[in-house]
Amino acid sequence: MNKIISLIVISTTVFVGSFFFTKDSQAQNIGGLRNVITPGFSFKKDLRLGDTDPDIKELQKVLNADIDTVVATAGPGSTGQESTYFGSLTKAAVIKFQNKYKGAALTVIDGAVDKATRTKLNLLSG
């Protein structure tokens, strides 16, 4: 009986510890976005697949700052190699971002940066 109770306590401790670690990681990602984008920058334009625009480089920086929404791990679009082109990798990362933050204000999950997505990006990048 004592072995079962010990196992439950250990399992609960591991789960709780894992939960707090995950939340801390997300908080670090969100808090660090101010240091990722160009000072004073905010998202003001719709952006979509095929676009070329300097704002896309800022978008890729924000997406790459969160392990859940990384554009690429190496090559064009990866951290330090962000580009001004909105290609299929950027679209896939935006879809991950939209799924991560979907809710009442962010309901369209299509990989395009529309007003709702811009609002969430600006809120997170402070």
- Token reading at 54: 């300097």
- Token reading at 45: 């334009």
pLDDT for residue 41 is more than 90: yes
Express each pLDDT in 82-124 by its tens digit.
Answer: 999 999 999 999 999 999 999 988 999 999 999 999 999 999 9
pLDDT for residue 22 is more than 80: no
- pTM beyond 0.85, yes or no: no
Length of the chain: 126
**Half-sphere exposure in the Cβ direction for 68 (13 Å, CA):** 14
